[in-house]
With several copies, the nearest count.
Chain A
C-alpha cells in the first residue's frame, strides 16, 4: 500500500473527515503561504494544481488561475522546487494534465514529484485504459494514483477503477468540470457505488463550495476537496489569513458532522 493511502486510512480510522483544499502552483509569488495557511487552518491533504495550457476538465475559475500561473512561468520543475521548501508533513497530492508529465517523461515526473514530497497524483484526462504506464512509473516512487469516478461511471467500471485507485478515490459530485455549485449533486449515489466496490477512503470533489455542502457530503464520504471556491478567493485578492479563516470554517463544519 502506498504511504498516502496508509496515512489516509489512519485518518479515517481516527474518525476525522478529510479536508483537501486545492491550490494552483505558482499562482502568486507567495502561493506557498496560502498552502501554509490552509495547513494551519486544518487541512488534511493539499492538492497542488500544476498548470496546463488546455485545462479541459476545469471551469473558468481554475482556467483563469492556470493562465495566470503559466504567465508567471510556472513549470512542473518550478512547482516541485517550491514544494520542496514546505516543511509541514501534511500529505501533498499533485493534479495536472497528462501532457505535462508525458512531455516531461513519466518516470522522471514521478521521481520529481516524489522528491518534492508529493505522494499522490490526479491526472484527470488519464483514463483507466491508458494509465498502465503511469501506474507502473508511480509504483517505484510511492506516488499514489488517484482516479476519479463520475456519476456516469457504471458499476463495472467503478469496480475496475477501484481496483487500481490508490490513496483515495475521487468521487465526482456531478457531471461538470470544476467550478462552484450549491448542492451535493450526485455525490451520495457515486460514493455509495464506490463504497460497494472498495474500502479505500472516498473524497468528494467538483463544486464543493460551502461548509454546509461539505458537512452534508461528509455524512457519507470520507472527505471533501475544495477547489474553485478557494482559488476564486485568491484571484479576488484574499490574503493567506482569509484563506486560513475559510479553511477553519470548513474544518468546523466537518468536525461537527
Chain B
C-alpha cells in the first residue's frame, strides 16, 4: 500500500484538518489565538528558537529518550516489540516536550505568565516545571474531584511554585478545568499564555502541540533505523487528547506503518463520539442526543476526556490512522505484564496501548510483526491507585 505524502502537514488557514479543527472561542480570545499563530509560525522557522527548544529538551528534558527493545515480551508474544521511552523524559512523560516549547514561546511573546488545565496532574506538573525553569508565573486549573484524587500532584505543582486552582463547576474534572482555564484566559490574555496540554483546543494549538511533540516520532523513526528495524509494521499509542500519539505518528505519517491510537473504552471519542464543537475545536465528541457533552470514564485520568484532537478525527476519517478502545480490566493486566517482563511500570494511559497489542497479536497484528509502542509515561503516579484496585479485587 502506498501512502500520499500529505499526512500531518500544516492545517489550512482556518486551522482545519479536513472537516475538523478550526477556532471556536470567545471573540475576546481571538486576538490571542491569532497572535499565537503568528508567533508560533515565526518561532518554528527561526533557527535560534528551534535551537533553544532542542537544547532545553536535551539539557533539561532528557532527550533523546531511548527506544528499548522489549525482548522478553517480544519472545512471549512472538513479535518484535520496541518501546519509545517517554517515561524517561523529565517529569515522567512526553508532556515535557510540549511545555518546554510553549513556555519558550511565552517568553518570546513577551508574556510573563502561563495558565494550564490538568486532569490527573501530569500536564500541570510539566507546565509548572517548565515555568519554574524560566521564572514564569504559573496557575493550574484542576477539577476539584481531581485535586482530591491527586493530592500529591497538587503538592508537586505547589513545590514548583505554581498556584493550583480547584475547579468546582460542572463535573469538576478535566473538561471543566479546560472551561475554567479558558474563562480565566479571557481576563488575562495580555500577559498570559494558555499552555494547553494536548493536541486540542482552537487553532493553532492542535497543530502547535503536535509539532512540539513530533520530536518523539522523529527520534523514534531514526532510532529504529539505527536498530536495523527500519519502518515498523505498526506504531501504537494511547490517546487521551492525542498528543503523544500525534507526536509519534508524525515520525511515521508518510511511511507504510499502520498508525494505531488506543482510547479508553469509556472515553472513546472515535468509537462513541460524533462531530461537535467543544473547547475551541470541531472534533469528535462524546455527547448526548441534544449535544450536551458527556463525561468520559476511564481508570486512567489522562484518558478521561470526552473529545479527541481534531487531527486524529481527521486521520480516523481518512483511514490513515486507526483507533480502538480498550476496557479498564485489560489495562491492569497489561500494566502488570510489562512491569514483570521488562522492568518498566508504565502509566495507566500507556498500559492501554500495551493491552491492545497483547490482545491483537495473532489477529490484526500478525506474529513476526515489528511494533513500536509509544511508552508515553511512567506509572509511578498510578501505583497507589493500581494497588488499591488490585487489593480490592483480591
CB–CB under 8 A between A and B in the complex?
yes
Residues of chain A whose beta carbon lies under 8 Å from any beta carbon of chain B: 52-60, 63-64, 67, 70, 75-76, 97-100, 102-104, 124-130, 147-154, 157, 161, 172, 175-177
Contacts between chains A and B (CB distance < 8 A), count: 121
Is the CB–CB distance between A127 and B189 below 8 Å? no
The answer on a CB contact under 8 Å between A148 and B26 is: yes
7 contacts between A and B (CB under 8 A): A54-B176, A54-B278, A57-B186, A59-B183, A129-B14, A148-B28, A153-B31
Nearest opposing residue in chain A for B290, CB measure: A75
Contact B24 A172 (CB under 8 A): no
- Complex Cα distance, B12 from A129, in Å, reads 13
Q: A54-B278, A57-B183 are in contact. Are A63 and B170 (CB under 8 A)?
A: yes
Shortest CB–CB separation between residue B227 and chain A, in angstroms? 43
Does chain A have a CB within 8 A of B27?
yes
B135 on the interface (CB 8 Å rule)? no
Whole-angstrom distance between the Cβ of B33 and the nearest chain A Cβ = 9
Contact status A67-B170, CB under 8 Å: yes
> A130 and B23: CB pair below 8 A?
yes
Shortest CB-to-CB span from A95 to chain B, Å, is 13
Instruction: Tell me the count of chain B residues lying within 8 A, CB to CB, of chain A.
Output: 39
Return chain B residues, CB-CB under 8 Å to A76. Answer: 290
Beyond A67-B170, A99-B293, A103-B287, whether A125 also contacts B31 by CB under 8 A is no
Provide the residues of chain B in CB contact with A150, threshold 8 Å.
26-28, 30-31
Q: A152-B32, A177-B186 are in contact. Are A104 and B26 (CB under 8 A)?
A: no
Is B291's CB under 8 angstroms from A99's CB? yes
In the complex, which of the residues B22, B32, B176, B275 contacts A130, with contact meaning CB atoms closer than 8 Å? B22
Take A63-B169, A102-B277, A177-B183 as given contacts and tell me if A53 and B28 are in contact as well, using a CB distance cutoff of 8 Å.
no
B18 within 8 A of A: no
Can you name 16 extra interface pairs (CB under 8 A) apart from A99-B277, A127-B25, A177-B26? A54-B170, A56-B183, A57-B26, A67-B170, A100-B291, A102-B282, A124-B26, A124-B27, A129-B22, A147-B27, A151-B28, A152-B27, A152-B31, A152-B189, A161-B27, A176-B187
Q: Is the CB of A56 within 8 A of B287?
A: no
A53–B292 CB distance below 8 A: yes
Determine if B26 and A154 form an interchain contact, defined as CB atoms under 8 angstroms apart. no
Residue of B nearest to A153 (CB): B27
A161 to B279 Cα, complex, angstroms: 22
- Report yes or no: A157 in contact with B30, Cβ–Cβ below 8 A: yes
- With contacts A55-B179, A63-B170 taken as known, whether A175 is within 8 angstroms of B186 at the C-beta atoms is yes
Give chain B interface residues in 5-41, CB to chain A under 8 Å. 14, 22-32
Q: Which residue of B lies closest to A59 (CB)?
A: B183
Q: Which residue of A lies closest to B294 (CB)?
A: A53
B280 CB–A CB distance under 8 Å: yes
